[in-house]
């Protein structure tokens, strides 16, 4: 019997990449999963239950939680994976305020609102698993990525605060910190870097592969396996932890 069997999970950013891999893995292990993202076409293609919502607003977060509870029941697992990357960012002194505000709204404010909403029911039932997808940029700054870096550092603070506040109610809160993973977001970053440096996208990926001892980047499935474990009953002794999934290398 799987440690998520029969549990109700809400997975954000589930239209592609790590979020989609996580949703499919949880379903394969017996969980009932609601997929959340901003793009209906991507979600429809998953073949899983879904709700379209803007998770950068309190209203969008409330809609996602309400629809999940209405259609599936009280949420046991929140896998908070949505976010935007740093491909469009600039160095600090040239960073547009709009870029900073948008990144914080989606990458940090959204997870806060979602956590606040799901925790009330989890506390009543004395059970819950919250898993946030941060990044190795949550510990080491990216060049020309102040908004993304700050949001991912902040996400670790939120995760640890939830662990501290809600731990007495049988709730755990953890984060995964992937290094480079070949997702659509990372492809956009590679394209922007290639253009800036005057090299090919393949060269960018070869450099990224070289950062890790196996000479490759992680797969969405490898990150999803870690999320699924932290979301399981077997992970009851782990809370307030940032788990790096980077194949033993740097970001």
Enzyme catalytic residues: 148
- What is the spatial distance between Cα 106 and Cα 112, in angstroms, rounded to a whole number? 10
Residue in 107, 99, 113 with CA at minimum distance from that of residue 155: 107
Q: Which residues pair with 133 in a beta bridge?
A: 176
Dihedral sign of CA atoms 207, 212, 216, 222 in order: negative
155 in Cβ contact with 108 (< 8 Å) = yes
DSSP result, 222-234: HHHHHHHHHTSGG
DSSP H or E segment with residue 159: helix 146-166
- What is the spatial distance between Cα 10 and Cα 125, in angstroms, rounded to a whole number? 17
């Amino acid at each position: 019997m799987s440690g998520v069997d029969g549990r109700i999970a809400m997975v954000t950013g589930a239209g592609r990449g790590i979020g989609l891999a996580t949703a499919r893995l949880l379903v394969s292990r017996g969980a009932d999963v609601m997929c959340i993202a901003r793009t209906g076409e991507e979600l429809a293609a998953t073949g899983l239950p879904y709700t379209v919502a803007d998770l950068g607003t309190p209203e969008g977060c409330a809609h996602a939680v309400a629809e999940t509870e209405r259609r599936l029941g009280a949420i046991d697992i929140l896998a908070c994976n949505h976010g935007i990357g740093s491909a469009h960012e600039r160095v600090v002194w040239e960073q547009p305020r709009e870029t900073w505000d948008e990144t914080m709204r989606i990458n940090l404010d959204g997870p806060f609102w979602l956590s606040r909403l799901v925790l009330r029911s989890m506390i009543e039932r004395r059970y819950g698993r919250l898993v946030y997808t941060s990044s190795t940029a949550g510990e080491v700054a990216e060049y020309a990525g102040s908004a993304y870096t700050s949001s991912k550092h902040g996400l670790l603070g939120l995760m640890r605060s939830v662990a501290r506040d809600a731990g007495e109610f049988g709730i755990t809160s953890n984060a995964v910190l992937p290094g480079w993973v070949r997702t659509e977001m990372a492809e956009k970053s590679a394209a922007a870097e290639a253009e800036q440096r005057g090299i090919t996208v393949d060269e960018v990926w070869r450099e990224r592969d070289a950062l890790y001892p196996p000479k490759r980047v992680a797969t969405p499935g490898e990150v999803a396996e870690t999320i699924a474990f932290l979301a399981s009953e077997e992970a009851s002794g782990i809370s307030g932890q940032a788990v790096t999934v980077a194949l033993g290398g740097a970001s």
